[in-house]
Structure 1
Amino acid sequence: MTTPICNIHGTAMVLGATGFLVTGPSRSGKSALALALISEVRRRGRFAALIADDRVDLTLANERIVARCPASIRGLIEIRGSGIAEVETLPACVLEWAILPVRAPFDPRLPPEQEELKLEIGRSLPMLRLPIETPLGPVDALAALLPQKLGL
């Protein structure tokens, strides 16, 4: 039996040993946030890699959500205003969290409790709202919210 594939708009990456899906509407900063997180985590001496940018194929394997990149865009990421760049990627990862980039003013100030991103494959990911374009760097915010996952 073939596992159904769901193709969604988003960016998937691994930081340390944790898989993240950056979600949000077009032009919300998904690619820029992912590239900034990957670059900064690497500068701090930890593993980080892109899985897919813009489109992500999701499947279920052993009840876990697996992200892969469609072949036509493998190894590519958009740098808005500059073009498409080639980057090192991994073929797949297990997703554990969704990230929604948010800009000030933050409304609501605090996110809903136990917020989840519902996926078309019948599963959900716990979601974090991550501030962008603020004095607090996104890696510092993510490390404060999930210290056990990043170990930074």
Structure 2
Amino acid sequence: MNGTTVHAGCVLVGEAGVLIRGDSGTGKSQLGLRLMAAARGRGLFASLVADDRTRLAVNGGRLIARPVPAIAGRCEIRGVGIVGLVNEGAAVVRLVVDCSHEQPERLPAAASRSAAIEGIVIDRLQVRVDDGVEAVVWAVLEQVLDR
């Protein structure tokens, strides 16, 4: 599978892949773990696809996320280290979440609510996990479940 490797994680919630991007220390792994726990708490299937580095490619007009083989099934938890998790081999990306230390726009313009990756336009949320991961998890789940 051709494609690119990006500095991002990906979790699968139901049938929706959520690509979580951001610089180191912005809460990507924390958000992914909390998102999986919250989805499972609602009775939904949720699983890790990739942590830290994700392979992206287009197949059939859809953006597909896969783990980088060398780190598949591993997740870094700050202060704990690398832990092993069961992971899915692939997910169709339905939402991009960009984590930042910067405060996102209060009411983002329509143009900033989507991202074009490998020529595929996908819904996008900009978040600051530092402001409270529970609110971010709620917003992500609402976006994913609203499909």
TM-score above 0.5, yes or no: yes
Match for 1:89: what amino acid?
A: N
CA-atom RMSD in angstroms: 2.1
Q: Distance in 2 between matches of 1:136 and 1:31?
A: 14
Judge conservation of contact 1:77–1:86 (CA < 8 Å) in 2: yes
Say which of 65, 68, 74 aligns to 2:66: 68
The match for 1:126 is: 123
Q: Which aligned pairs between 1:47-126 and structure 2 lie closer than 5 A?
A: 47-102=45-100, 106-115=103-112, 116-119=114-117, 121-126=118-123
The match for 1:142 is: 140
When the two structures are aligned, how many residues end up with a matched partner? 145
Match for 1:127: what amino acid?
A: R
Match for 2:23: what amino acid?
A: P
The match for 2:14 is: 16
What is the deviation of 1:114? 3.5
The structure richer in helix per residue is 2
Which secondary structure state, in structure 2, belongs to the residue aligned with residue 117 of structure 1? Answer: strand
Which string of whole-angstrom CA distances, capped at 9 and with x for unpartnered residues, describes residues 62-108 of structure 1? 111111111100100010121011111100011111012356x7353
Q: Distance in 2 between matches of 1:21 and 1:140?
A: 16
What is the deviation of 1:126? 2.1
The 1:135/1:34 distance shift into structure 2, 3 A limit, reads: closer
Unaligned 5+ runs, structure 2: none
TM-score by length of 1: 0.83
> Based on CA coordinates, which of the two structures has the bigger radius of gyration?
1
Q: Distance in 2 between matches of 1:108 and 1:87?
A: 34
Which string of whole-angstrom CA distances, capped at 9 and with x for unpartnered residues, describes residues 38-69 of structure 1? 11111221100110000001111111111111
The 1:131/1:26 distance shift into structure 2, 3 A limit, reads: closer
Say which of 17, 39, 43 aligns to 2:41: 43
